[in-house]
Structure 1
């Protein structure tokens, strides 16, 4: 049986772009309202729902488990502009479900 949960959060980034894989000390922890059942394969999808800053706030996820996930902005490079990783406050919606 499939299970779905969703929510939204307000987040920003005051940290430089993270380029080292697995380094998550600048990520925010999101905890699901209800843990998914033990042994579940959980998928998380996120969407930035606001447009408050001029740079594109790339979203990075890590450590998706049955109890939550870690998330942060990592600005996307483009248009000849070098992103510094810092980003203003945006609203991010998320959906988590079992597969």
Structure 2
């Protein structure tokens, strides 16, 4: 039997693009309201629900576990130039479920 949880948060990025794999000091921790059962395979899907900045915001996830995940906005492209990683506040919706 699968279990589903969801939520939303307001997220922005004042930091440059992360270019080192596993470097997560600029990520935000999201804890699930109720931890999933131990040993569960948890999937997290996210959606940007606002359009506050003209550049395209990318979402990076890391360390998805039964208790939560790390998330970061990482601007990916803007105005014909490479993105710098910084992005204004956007509302991000998330859904987590077991498979």
How would you bin the TM-score normalised by the shorter chain?
A: over 0.9
TM-score scaled to structure 2, two decimals?
0.96
Distance 1:69 1:43 in 2: 10
Unaligned stretches of 5+ in structure 1? none
TM-score scaled to structure 1, two decimals?
0.96
What CA deviation, in whole Å up to 9, does each residue of 1:19-45 have, x standing for no partner? Answer: 111000000000000000000000000
Distance 2:91 2:21 in 1: 25
Count of residue pairs brought into register by the alignment: 99
Unaligned stretches of 5+ in structure 2? none
- Quick check: which one's strand share is greater? 2
Stretch of structure 1 that moved more, 40-49 or 71-80: 71-80
> What value does the CA root-mean-square deviation take over the aligned residues?
0.9
